[in-house]
Chains A and B, each alone.
Chain A
Amino acid sequence: MTDLDNRKLLNLIRYAPVAVVFVFALAVNIIAIQDKRAQAALSIENLREELIFQQKEMIRSEVSQAYKQVILKKYQLESDLKERAKQRVYEAYGIANYVYARNIGKSRAEIEKLIRESLRPIRFFDGRGYYFILDMNGNTIMNAGNPEMEGKINWESRDEKGNYIFNGMLDIAEEHREGAFHWLFKKPGGPAEKKFDKVGYVKRFEPFDLLIGTGEYLSDFEESVKEDLLDWFSEYEYGEGGYFFVLDKNGILLAHHRHDFLGLNINTGTPLQENYFNNIMQQVRNGGGYVDYSKPLTLSGTVKLKQINYVKKIKGWDWIIGTGFSAQSFERRLKIKEEALIRANQQSLTNLIYLTIASMLLLTGSSLYVGNLIARRFEVFQKKIREDFDELDETKNKMEYMALHDDLTNLPNRVHMLKNIQKHIELSQTDNKILAVMFVDLDNFKNINDIYGHQVGDQLLGVVSRKFELLTGCSESVSRFGGDEFMFCYPNLNDTEDAKDKASLIHETLSGPIDIDGRTLTIGCSIGVSIYPDNSTDAEGLINQAYTVLYKSKSQRKGQSLFYSSSITEQIKRRAVIEHELALATKDNGFTVFYQPQSSFHNKNILSVEALARWNHPALGIISPTEFIAIAEEAGLINELGILIFRRACEDIYELSPNGKDALKLSVNISPVQLMDPELGHSLLEICAEIGIDPKRITLEVTENICIQDLDAVRLLLTQLREQGFGLSLDDFGTGYSSLNYITSLPLTELKIDRCFINRFIGNHQSDMLVRMIIGTGRLCGLVVVAEGVETSSQFKKLLNYECDICQGYYLDKPLNIGQLSKRIVKSKPVNNTDTTLPGSQ
């Protein structure tokens, strides 16, 4: 399931960014494309509207400009005419002046004639214009347009408004020398009854005091201007194919460009279609406007061209000027532009799509690459993490195993056993069974280590462990507690007998020899057993009880099984109290020292005394030296206690018997534990020096229980002590493993036959022979032989016969306090200076 999830996660890491990037890029690009398309459509529509508006505005503007020009021309008609007339008069004046100047010598009549002949043929204003000359009396000297008036006086001529025509001209010439003049006059060829506005200009010709003038009918000039404008309209073009047309008030075409046509048969002078003209009139009545017009392109009329025109009326002249454009042509151009724009937009869109695809591919590819990179890195991390976790798991399992098992034997350890016991206690409670916890300690395993080395010891532990495992069935277990200690847990037992059977099996499994690397070893064990629920209901309690009873058992006798009982607890409590009190007593010097005399077999003279510590506790009463010395040794108090007793004994004996030839000697027991202290010799010597007692008077008694392992160190210490003068006695000789070995390896001065031999040698041949052999050995080795525990006369005599050197025991003396000893010594002083020197002593 986890792998599946991891695969999904990896796929998610690999593909999710790709999908997100792809979808995001796709969405962004779709939006961009849609937006671009919408913008393109909008821009096309806007462009269309804008262009149509511009086109229509352009033709309106063109019409407006043309309109202004026409209106300007129209309202400048009279002033233009006056100016032109003035120019013409100036030209005539110049001619007249020129003629006058060139003919200055001639008579006035001749000159006037020359002037008249010069001016008479001149025509202008499209042939309508001519000059006239008056004298200041109103006589017509010349009138090129109306020769019949020459020679006549027109002084009184008036127009329809009653203005004096010639008189008015003369007045201007008289007053201003020149000027424009406006009058009414009949038009040649025109109706006789109608006179027309005429504008002229006169200038006084001073040399002959004449007046030269000309005039033009305003209507003719206006028509002339209109013709010019129509010509202008016919030629005028703007932009690309922009042309004007001019209509009159009846729809007659007055002018249009040769490149323009309002219809196939509509030329200058022909009327416009009525309906079209009506539309035009409707617009011009409103001041001008747009008119749609469809003109046929072919004679059949099946193909028409729609034209949009703007028209405006020129007031006063009843002209309608207009211009326009072909809607279809414009639409087509627009369509071409639209298509071009669409193509451009499509190209842009295509480019955008290509860019989009490229960017999406790039983004997707890079996302895929990055995703794969991350996924691969993740896989590496995952693998590493998995490996680390596996390693951690393995380590954890190993540590758990190590925490719960013994590294040397692979058996469960104390913690595991504790849990196991606890678990089975609960099961036993449920099943109403008993559970036995058996604490097993291999007997003398230390010796195996000492003799064969730790490697062999370890191998032995392994072999034993395998043997023990074979003893455990379902739900039963064995564990190693450390060192040579093992623990069995036997649940589901019916009674104590079952437990005893199990203990027996343990003993039996170790009964045979064990082969280690070719060595055949034997090993036994001691077992402490506690029972649930009889002894305790918790695992710790059961273990502690089994442990307690084990060491109780070992202290009693190795190789046995001992079941826990309440009395053992009492014993243990007593021991704890004694240990506590022992420490106090050592500190407070609460011990007393008794001295058991050692007397010569030969004369029964006291030669020496053995200092014996006695402890009469105020509450506990007399406590056996065996008990408290053992506790002192185990509690580490023996050094202090030993020194304390040594000092006391030295003080007592020195006080009782100063140094000297016959000075009483002293034997003091030295615990094997004390022999482990390298400073022991120095301490003893220091005490001796302090008190003043000669060390040669003192024999240190050591037992055969001194550590064989540290024999070399002990030998060195004993040698030093011996060199310092102390005598050395091997106590309890014969009970140990290496009694004879000690004789040869240690600097002994004395052998002390153990009391067990003395007790039995009367009537026991073997013991008797052993006693004799010890005495013989001591003699042979030059050692003083002391027999302790001599309590009977027969014993004394026999030992005397055997030539044992010194007797110690109740037969002669019981242990005495210092006072009693003092008296005993006084009492036992020999009468006849019997030699009291100990054999072998220095």
Chain B
Amino acid sequence: MKHLTIILILLGCYPFSSFGDPKIVKLWRHDAREIEITASFASIKRFNESQSQWKIVPDLIPEASYTLSTTAAAQAGLLPCVIEIDQPLVPSFAWKGYIRPLDELIDEEMLQSVNTTAKGIYNGKVYSIGPLDVSLALFTRKSLINQIKARYPTLEHPWSRDEFMAILKAVKATGEYKYPFDIRAHDTTEWIPYAWAPMMLSWGADLIDRSNNITVDGFMNSDNAIKFGEWIQYLVQEQYIDPTPPNDEGFIRGTIAVQYGGSWALSSYYNAFKEDLAVLPVPDFGNGSFVGGGTWHWAITESCQHPEAAVELITFLMTAEETLASSSVMGIFPTNSHTADLSEDYGVQGKWRILYELSTRTARFRPATPAYSVISSSYIKAMSDIVNGMPPAIALDLAVENINAAFDRHQNYITPYR
């Protein structure tokens, strides 16, 4: 309701144009924390004030239903000119022809200046670009690490699986935490593939064969994937994690010792623990330390009547000034390395530089295939079932079966979408 009020105010600020007034260009983005929305709308307002030809009118969609809503709108041909899109959905939207390539529209130098997580690529073409990024990390308290006498992990030497399990055991042994670790198992949304799949990758299993982006069988349900599932079940069974945490405030309230979460929660964490907050790389479970990459990008829809306006807007939002202004929100950092260097928090000496480093050095994309939505939903269900006790092999086989059916249905997504 609060956000709706903001929208209405914005709409009030931008009355519908009359003859000769700037042309209306609509934009959708996901609803986020108020501070993010305010910053985002402020940028848009600055763009509108910076020129007189276009008038960007933003609209919000709750994050939980953002994909459903935009997908439904795309199918119905109701998409606005500019949309915010979650990076892994880019191939699907591109394959279906909902969004258009930006290579010929956006300045090449600008495209080259941002890191890889800031670009949504499909079939070698850039379809989306994001000025800002977030990163996953382990959040805990430095005091706790000291208390259990654990090693402070670095990017170069993250905790190993054994180290990590020993730490969880040690934390649990303190008796202060019923569930010492939280991986947000209740969030059966995009969180699971975004956050859990990199952990599974660290276990030596991937969602798909990245060499062809088609083969799932033997990857998602590989032995390592099953071991990862069994590890999740072990965490549940041994009550290292709560399979159904009531909310995301366990870490802040002190009921959770180690939080696996996103940088978007950094401000609340920092507010709770100040300098005791420890932002750590995720453990290396045997095959490297990885976090999920790719966050919200901007894309121009195929139905856009004024792509030049959209290009102008995106170019504006990608400027260092606007990026820095938006990245003043804690936990969100520029995707442009030069801009990041200019940032106080994310510069080389910045307090939260590790988040930027985690993103640029350990982030792994979700599969760049139009089948990603079914991969995502199938994987979410599989993980959810595993958490609820279903044998991992069965749950993952079911997921693979479901995904293969989708590949078969769409002829491996090679032919154009019809």
Give the B-binding residues of A (Cβ under 8 A): 235, 240, 258-261, 264-265, 297-300, 302-303, 305-306, 326, 328-329, 331-333, 335-336, 340
Given contacts A300-B4, A326-B72, contact A261 B65 (CB under 8 A): yes
- Distance between Cα atoms of A300 and B61 in the complex (Å): 9
Contact assessment for A302 and B59 in the assembled complex, using a CB-CB cutoff below 8 Å = yes
For B80, list chain A residues within 8 Å (CB): 303
Taking A261-B68, A261-B69, A264-B69 as contacts, is the C-beta distance between A299 and B75 under 8 angstroms? no
CB-defined contacts of A260 to chain B, threshold 8 Å: 68
The answer to whether B73 touches A299, judged by C-beta atoms less than 8 angstroms apart, is: no
> Residues of B contacting A333 with CB < 8 Å?
75
Subset of 13 A-B contacts with CB under 8 Å = A261-B65, A297-B73, A297-B78, A299-B31, A299-B59, A299-B60, A299-B62, A300-B4, A300-B59, A303-B59, A326-B72, A329-B72, A332-B77
Q: Does B13 contact A (CB under 8 A)?
A: no
CA distance A355 to B32 in the complex (A): 61
Q: Quote the shortest CB–CB distance from A341 to chain B (angstroms).
A: 12
Chain B residues bordering chain A, tally (CB within 8 A): 28
Closest to B64 in A: A267
Set of chain A residues within 8 Å of B418, measured between Cβ atoms: 336, 340
Q: A299-B3, A300-B8 known; A328 and B78 CB under 8 Å?
A: yes
Within 8 A of A (CB), among B55-99: 59-62, 65, 68-70, 72-73, 75-78, 80
A259 CB, nearest partner CB in chain B, Å: 6
Chain A residue at minimum C-beta to C-beta distance from B373: A259
Residues of A within 8 A of B61 (CB): 264, 297-299
C-alpha spacing A302/B8, complex, angstroms: 11
A233 to chain B, nearest CB (A): 15
Closest residue to B68 on the A side, CB-wise?
A261
Closest to A337 in B: B418
Q: Are A329 and B75 in contact (CB under 8 A)?
A: yes
Task: Report the Cα distance A829→B333, complex, angstroms.
Answer: 197
B60 touches A300 (CB 8 A): yes
* A305 and B73 form a contact (CB under 8 A): yes
Chain B residues within 8 Å of A328, by CB: 75-78
Specify which chain B residues have a CB less than 8 angstroms from the CB of A336 in the assembled complex.
418
- Chain B residues lying within 8 Å of A332, measured Cβ to Cβ, are 75-77
Give the CA-CA distance A93 to B4 in the complex, in Å.
Answer: 63
- Count of chain A to chain B residue pairs whose CB atoms are closer than 8 Å in the complex: 69
Tell me the bound Cα distance from A290 to B6 in angstroms. 36
Across the interface, A299 reaches (CB within 8 A) one of B7, B70, B72, B188, namely B7
The reply to whether B69 and A298 contact each other, CB–CB distance below 8 Å, is: yes
Complex Cα spacing A331 to B75, Å = 9
- For the complex formed, measure the closest distance between the CB of B70 and the CB atoms of chain A, giving whole angstroms: 8
> Are B76 and A326 interface neighbours, CB within 8 A?
yes
Bound Cα distance from A297 to B73, whole angstroms: 7
Q: A297-B78, A299-B31, A336-B418 are in contact. Are A258 and B377 (CB under 8 A)?
A: yes
Beta-carbon contact of B188 and A258 below 8 Å: yes
CB pair B4 A299 closer than 8 Å: yes
B 238-255 to A, binary, CB cutoff 8 A, 1 in contact else 0: 000000000000000000
At the interface, yes or no: B47 with Cβ under 8 Å from chain A? no
Instruction: Contacts A240-B409, A264-B65 known; list 16 others, CB within 8 Å.
Output: A259-B377, A261-B65, A261-B69, A297-B73, A298-B59, A298-B69, A299-B7, A300-B60, A303-B59, A326-B75, A328-B75, A328-B76, A329-B75, A332-B75, A332-B76, A336-B418
Q: CB distance A265 to B62 under 8 Å?
A: yes
Give which listed residue, A265, A297, A331, contacts B72 with CB less than 8 A.
Answer: A297
The smallest beta-carbon distance between B375 and chain A, in angstroms, is 13
Nearest first, the 8 closest Cβ-Cβ pairs linking A and B are A328-B76, A329-B75, A298-B59, A299-B60, A329-B76, A332-B77, A297-B69, A300-B7
Please measure, in the bound complex, the distance between the C-alpha atom of A328 and the C-alpha atom of B71, giving whole angstroms: 12
Q: Complex: how many Å from CA A328 to CA B68?
A: 15
Q: Per-residue CB proximity of B82-118 to A under 8 Å, as 1/0?
A: 0000000000000000000000000000000000000
Contacts of B3 in A (CB 8 A): 299
| A189 shortest CB reach to chain B, Å | 23
Determine if B28 is an interface residue (Cβ-Cβ < 8 Å).
yes
Question: B146-189 toward A: CB 8 Å interface, digit per residue (1/0)?
Answer: 00000000000000000000000000000000000000000010
Which residues on the A side are within 8 Å of B75 (C-beta)?
A: 326, 328-329, 332-333
Q: Which of A240, A300, A305 contacts B78 (CB 8 A)?
A: A305
Q: A267's closest neighbor in chain B, by CB?
A: B64
The answer to whether A305 touches B76, judged by C-beta atoms less than 8 angstroms apart, is yes
Measured between alpha carbons, how far is A329 from B28 in the docked complex, in Å? Answer: 19
- Does B394 sit within 8 A of A, measured CB to CB? no
Interface check B11, CB cutoff 8 A: yes
Shortest distance from the beta carbon of A816 to any chain B beta carbon, whole Å: 152
The complex places the Cα of A221 from the Cα of B109 at a distance, in Å, of 66
Chain B residue, CB-CB nearest to A235: B381
B28 contacts which chain A residues (CB < 8 A)? 298
Bound form: Cα–Cα A711–B340 in Å: 159
Residue of A nearest to B381 (CB): A235
Which chain A residues lie closer than 8 Å to B62 at the CB level?
Answer: 264-265, 299
Chain A: which residue is nearest B8 at the CB level? A300
Chain A residues lying within 8 Å of B60, measured Cβ to Cβ, are 298-300
CB-based nearest A residue for B31: A299
The docked-state distance in angstroms from the alpha carbon of A331 to that of B188 is 32
Once the chains are docked, how many angstroms separate the CA of A335 from the CA of B303?
14
Residues of A close to B78: CB separation below 8 A: 297, 303, 305, 328
Chain A residues with CB under 8 Å of B69's CB are 261, 264, 297-298
The CA of A333 and the CA of B380, in the complex, are separated in Å by 28
Residues of B within 8 A of A235 (CB): 381
Which chain B residue has the least Cβ–Cβ distance from A240?
B409
- Smallest Cβ distance from A339 to chain B, in angstroms? 11
In the bound complex, residues from chain B placing their C-beta under 8 Å from that of A329 are 72, 75-76
How many Å from the CB of A119 to the closest CB on chain B?
A: 24
Q: What separation, in Å, do the CA atoms of A260 and B78 have in the docked complex?
A: 17
Tell me how far the C-beta of B389 lies from the nearest C-beta in chain A, rounded to whole angstroms: 14
Expressed in whole angstroms, the Cα–Cα distance for A258 and B64 within the complex equals: 10
Complex Cα–Cα for A306 and B380 (A): 28
Q: Which residue of A lies closest to B10 (CB)?
A: A300
For the complex, what is the distance from the CA of A88 to the CA of B368, rounded to whole Å? 49
Contact of B73 among A240, A264, A303, A335 (CB under 8 A): A303
* Neighbouring A residues of B76 by C-beta, 8 Å: 305-306, 326, 328-329, 331-332
Tell me the minimal C-beta distance from A228 to chain B in angstroms: 14
Name the residue among B11, B28, B73 with the largest chain A CB count within 10 angstroms: B73
* A264 to B76 Cα, complex, angstroms: 17
CA distance A196 to B381 in the complex (A): 37
Complex Cα–Cα for A328 and B69 (A): 13
Give the distance to chain B from A40, nearest Cβ to Cβ, in Å: 20
Closest CB of chain A to B266's CB: distance in Å?
25
Given A297-B73, A299-B4, A336-B418, A259 and B59 contact (CB-CB distance below 8 Å): no
- CB of B75 to closest CB in A, whole Å: 4
Bound complex: CA of A164 vs CA of B106, how far in Å? 84
For A307, give the chain B residue with the smallest CB separation. Answer: B72
Shortest CB distance A340–B (Å): 8
Chain B nearest Cβ from A623, distance in angstroms: 136
The smallest C-beta distance from A349 to any residue of chain B, in angstroms, reads 22
Q: Are B7's CB and A305's CB within 8 A?
A: no
Closest A residue to B406 by beta carbon equals: A240
Alpha-carbon gap, A303 to B188, bound state (A)? 27
B11 touches A300 (CB 8 A): yes
A265 to B8, CA, bound (A): 18
Report chain B residues within 8 Å CB of A258.
Answer: 188, 377, 380
- Min CB gap A241→B, angstroms: 8
| Complex interface: chain B residues within 8 A of A261 (CB) | 65, 68-69
Contacts of A331 in B (CB 8 A): 76
Closest chain B CB from A264 CB (angstroms): 5
Least CB distance from B378 to A in Å reads: 11
Closest CB in chain A relative to B237 CB, distance in Å: 18
Chain A residue numbers with a CB within 8 Å of B381 are 235
- The closest CB in chain B to the CB of A327 belongs to B76
Report A27 CB to chain B, min CB distance, Å: 39
Q: 1/0 per residue B11-22: CB within 8 Å of A?
A: 100000000000
